[in-house]
């Protein structure tokens, strides 16, 4: 039987993951038709790992950690218990934003691995593949995105661990 907190976690994780998926069009994170180009293949591998594999593994871990939350009827909860259960369910779902920030950090720290410059574009992909310039990728933001990614992931991991003990 799933606990109320696990249900809250599932709902918010799905909402947040859907939100992150909505930005992928601009970045062409999963540009499968152009996989023959090295920078596209690199970006696809990064995207698949950070935005598919790791979120699923984190989901399984967090769902397992939330198994110890109360399974009693929500009508029996008091106000404090309700806040605690909702907080415990929503905060781990924020990890999805950490995975996205990790992706951004990698792209910003090593942009030429994942995108080409405007003057490097071949005629075949010039109109459909974004460039470093078109996306306004700036290396100075990479460390900041990495820091906030780690904060999101740390908070999302520690919260259920602390609040379910």
Q: State if pTM tops 0.95.
A: no
The DSSP code sequence of 20-85 is HHTTHHHHTTT-GGGTTSHHHHHHHHHHHIIIIIHHHHHHHHHHHHGGGS--S-GGG--HHHHHHH
Structural domain count, the chain: 1
Q: Which residues contact 54 (CB under 8 A, 6 or more apart)?
A: 99
- Could you tell me the residue range of the domain that residue 151 belongs to? 4-163
Between CA 144 and CA 14 the distance in angstroms is 26
Of residues 13, 11, 37, the one with CA closest to residue 98: 13
User: What pLDDT digit, counting tens, does each position of 97-113 carry?
Assistant: 999 999 999 999 999 99
pLDDT digits (tens, 9 = 90+) for 19-54: 998 988 889 999 999 999 999 999 999 999 999 999
């Amino acid at each position: 039987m799933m606990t109320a907190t696990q249900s809250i976690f599932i709902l918010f994780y799905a909402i947040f993951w859907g939100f992150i998926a909505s930005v992928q069009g601009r970045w062409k994170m999963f540009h499968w038709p152009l996989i023959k180009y090295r920078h596209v293949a690199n970006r696809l591998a990064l995207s698949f790992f950070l935005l598919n594999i790791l979120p699923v593994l984190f989901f399984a871990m967090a769902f397992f950690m939330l198994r110890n939350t109360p399974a009693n009827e929500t009508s029996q909860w008091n106000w404090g218990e309700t806040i605690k259960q909702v907080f415990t369910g929503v905060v781990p779902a924020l990890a999805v934003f950490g995975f996205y920030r990790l992706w951004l950090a990698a792209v910003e720290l090593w942009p030429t691995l994942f995108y080409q410059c405007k003057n490097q574009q071949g005629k075949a992909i010039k109109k459909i593949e974004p460039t470093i310039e078109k996306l306004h990728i700036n290396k100075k933001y990479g460390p900041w995105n990495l820091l906030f990614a780690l904060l999101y992931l740390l908070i999302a991991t520690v919260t259920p661990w602390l609040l379910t003990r």
